Structure 1
Amino acid sequence: MVEAATLRLTKPLLRRGPKGDGHAVMVLPGFMSDDPYNRSLLKFLGELGYRAHGWNLGRNLGPGNISLREIAAAVRRLERQSGGKVSLIGHSLGGIYAREIARENPGVVRQVITLGSPFGAGRDRGSNVHHLFKRLNPGREADPEHLARQEKLAVAPPVPTTSIYTRGDGIVNWRTSIQKKDHPETQNIEVPGSHCGLTHNPTVWYLIADRLRQPEDLWQPFNSRVFRHH
């Protein structure tokens, strides 16, 4: 990945960024991914002073293999252990999980940051991995609970929510990562790069660090002419 090569050059500069306040952060992996894939990002967040954790649930094969209840339970445990709300960072499908957990557990989630997550209308048609997802999660599309969730996926959870996306995604239709202005604490930020490289993208790391360092309950949108945002 080009992002990984660029990251090696920019890591020293990124590590000089603002330190965190020590609150807990959980990174949820994308479809077919796992915690080791996000090891560099987790290490970076730890170096900034956050209590950075993976989800510790193995490879993300979809909701037919790991339930949203299991993930939510892990988030609630981390909230109790850390003594404060948890920020959730989710890559691709992991971002959809993060949004749904925040929707159902707003009292334990500080903010949500999604990376290339296809939560918008047309996500099934816009994804190159949708057929693989269906094979690994047979019957999900006919499950009443799954169908009920699908109807509200595009609605932002009631916490500060940032969607980071790239037009060069190559895996999901980037238009399905655009969040409507459901409440004042939502924002879309476009970055250069690829779908699989988003968790190794130095621009994304910079944005994550900027979003996480904001004081709780004082969220402000990212504001820079360097990036496209709306």
Structure 2
Amino acid sequence: MEVRIQLYNKFTQFAMSLGRLNGLSIDEINTVLKNSYERHPHAEFMLGALENIHEKDIEDFKFLFNECVRICDELGPSREYITLLSILTTIANEAGENKTLEQNQLVHEIVLKFKKEIELINQKIPKPPLFNMLLESRSLLEWGSIYAIYPFIPKRIEGNGRPVLLIPPYLGDDYSTSFVRRYLDSLGFKTYKWEMGFNMVKSHYIPRLEEKLDDIYEMHKEKVSIVGWSGGGIFAKIMANRHPNQVEQIITIASPVWGVMDMKTPVYGLLEFFQGKSLKERNKRFLQELEPIPNVPVTCIYTKTDGLVPWKHCMEAESYRKGIKNIEVFGSHSGLGANASVLMITANALSANINGVTIEDATPHIERILYPFYWSHKKWKLFKKKSNLVQTS
């Protein structure tokens, strides 16, 4: 956390330096930064950094640029850097009374250079370790045990007939989403299948998906929620980017939602074998369309023991705006369609986003023990207790 606080301090200084270079007053820069920082998950540190900055701290923008890049590189790849880029872009686009054309061009060049540095850092996400790949065999146990577990999964959510379209993973068909659909149907949601056979993650599915989305929207006269698992989440995000007026929200399950062009995964070899040419070459425009964050609620479910997709690619930037949530679960990539915690989170997220309330990481009931956040919280509390004992002894 100390390194992150250091990044927030240096980034705030760099952003203010860039604003001054663009002819903005300190008050104008403060307004831009406060509006951005208030929605950040670490808002208290960001706003604290803003309050403690003095004019002398923001004089050398070249030094501050290099420091920000260095700290980001030390922290490693993260989707959250898109928020930093968004803030810098806002500052570059602000119309200060004292700025000149030359100053503004220089500021835009600096922002572009910072973006390229971040892209290089984000290309360093490694593929899943061999141990995680070997752990994928437990998906057989997950799919086998769901038949016994399913009757005991709590059913506290009311779907009220809201439409939900489910998209299967790569090489999966509608059977892959059968338990998720069955669970949502039991809660009162109206679910719809993919109905296109096995999902080969090809761009030619998009027109048929758009037609299906339009049909469901017209049938219900209301927006449609889309749930996509793995490769299915790619289509969910593209549908939300193209048709925000018809999409209520998206929920992705272990889906690579950003950086797919540079993603390192053992699945690529299989993809290229089936499709006959490089995935990057074949679907470049299709994958570039995946990068923007849609203007609808987004919930990303991921597992750090994913053996097929690097888990960092499965998280969206929570600090970018409200309505974005990342939730970790225990499980394998291939077994998430039969994972009780995934079923419950999907239902909770659908209901919360439809009703405009905050999504909790998981249910407040006994089943919270199924989630990593619960055990991390327990360990953190234990650590704090030990720290207090050391201080008082």
Tell me if TM exceeds 0.5.
yes
> 1:57-96, aligned counterparts within 5 Å?
57-63=196-202, 66-96=204-234
CA RMSD after TM alignment: 2.2
Whole-Å Cα distance in 1 between the matches of residues 194 and 322 of structure 2? 29
1:13 aligns with 152
**Is 1:21–1:213's contact at 8 Å kept on the other side of the alignment?**
no
- TM-score (structure 1 length as normaliser): 0.88
Shift of residue 79, structure 1, vs aligned partner: 1.2
Whole-Å Cα distance in 2 between the matches of residues 115 and 88 of structure 1? 11
**Is 1:156–1:186's contact at 8 Å kept on the other side of the alignment?**
no
Determine which of 103, 111, 121 is the counterpart of 2:259. 121
**Is 1:24–1:82's contact at 8 Å kept on the other side of the alignment?**
yes
**Is 1:89–1:98's contact at 8 Å kept on the other side of the alignment?**
yes
Distance change >3 Å, CA 8–CA 184, structure 1 → 2:
same
Bigger fraction of residues in helix: 2
Determine which of 97, 120, 123 is the counterpart of 2:235. 97
List runs of 5+ in structure 1 lacking aligned partners: none
> 1:1-230, aligned counterparts within 5 Å?
1-63=140-202, 66-121=204-259, 124-137=262-275, 138=277, 141-143=280-282, 146-181=283-318, 182-214=320-352, 216=354, 218-224=356-362, 226=368, 227=371
- Greater relative contact order structure (CA < 8 Å, 6+ sep): 1
Whole-Å Cα distance in 2 between the matches of residues 223 and 53 of structure 1? 26
Shift of residue 18, structure 1, vs aligned partner: 1.8
Task: Tell me the alpha carbon deviations over residues 188-212 of structure 1, each in whole angstroms, 9 at most, x when there is no partner.
Answer: 1110000011111000001011111
Shift of residue 169, structure 1, vs aligned partner: 1.1
Whole-Å Cα distance in 2 between the matches of residues 59 and 96 of structure 1? 15
Secondary structure of the structure 1 residue equivalent to 2:301 = strand
Give 1 or 2 for the bigger CA radius of gyration.
2
Shift of residue 17, structure 1, vs aligned partner: 2.2
**Is 1:25–1:53's contact at 8 Å kept on the other side of the alignment?**
yes
Whole-Å Cα distance in 1 between the matches of residues 355 and 154 of structure 2? 25
- TM-score (structure 2 length as normaliser): 0.53
Which letter maps to 1:63? K
Which letter maps to 2:172? S
Whole-Å Cα distance in 1 between the matches of residues 261 and 147 of structure 2? 33
Whole-Å Cα distance in 2 between the matches of residues 140 and 11 of structure 1? 37
**Seq. identity, %:** 26
Shift of residue 69, structure 1, vs aligned partner: 1.6
**Is 2:238–2:290's contact at 8 Å kept on the other side of the alignment?**
yes
Which has the higher mean CA deviation after the structures are superposed, 114-123 or 156-165? 114-123
Distance change >3 Å, CA 97–CA 215, structure 1 → 2:
closer
